[in-house]
């Protein structure tokens, strides 16, 4: 595994990087704990759950917090949108590592997959509409797989 540190991201890359630029997207995890995001990205790549993961740097989060009152970062776990087995693998990893929050009733939040083309088009917040969600794969109440 290679780790590349940039001013705004830390990337964890497996030597077998295998995603298609036109099909690529990510499942995301938001947190204030940069150390945990580093551990979980490293684990996902070293355990071959994904071939590429990245998270925001502490410096980037600090600057963002200063100007926008948002003090959390994001970790991204990449795969091709049409690779169903890869979705199941990363979502199992998310659930096993408590990366999907639950409501007070115990229901999983319906997290979204984001296409890189949506990121490149600057679709954020209300401008972002996900076509792939956790509910496509599991029952949000029971956590049981649909397929």
Is residue 49 within 8 A of residue 89, CB to CB? The reply is: yes
Sketch out the chain's domains with CATH numbers.
2-136 (3.30.760)
147 residues of the chain, pLDDT tens digit each: 999 999 999 999 998 777 788 899 999 999 999 999 999 999 999 999 999 999 999 888 888 877 777 778 999 999 999 999 999 999 999 999 999 999 999 999 999 999 887 877 676 777 767 789 999 999 999 999 997
DSSP state of 124: -
Q: Which residues contact 79 (CB under 8 A, 6 or more apart)?
A: 19, 24, 25, 26, 27, 50, 86, 87, 90
Maximum distance among all Cα pairs of the chain, rounded to whole angstroms: 44
């Amino acid at each position: 595994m290679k780790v590349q540190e940039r001013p705004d991201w830390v990337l964890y890359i497996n030597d077998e990087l295998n995603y298609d630029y036109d099909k690529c997207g990510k499942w995301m995890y938001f947190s204030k704990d940069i150390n945990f995001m580093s551990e979980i990205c490293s684990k996902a790549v070293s355990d071959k759950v994904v071939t590429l993961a990245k998270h925001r740097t502490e410096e980037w989060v600090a600057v963002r917090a200063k100007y926008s009152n948002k003090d959390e970062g994001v970790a991204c776990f990449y795969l091709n949108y049409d690779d169903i087995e890869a979705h199941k693998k990363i979502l199992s990893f998310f659930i096993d590592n408590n990366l999907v929050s639950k409501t007070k009733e115990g229901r999983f939040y319906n997290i979204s997959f984001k296409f890189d083309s949506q990121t490149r088009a600057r679709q954020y917040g209300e401008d972002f509409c996900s076509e792939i969600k956790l509910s496509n794969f599991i029952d949000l109440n029971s956590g049981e797989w649909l397929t």
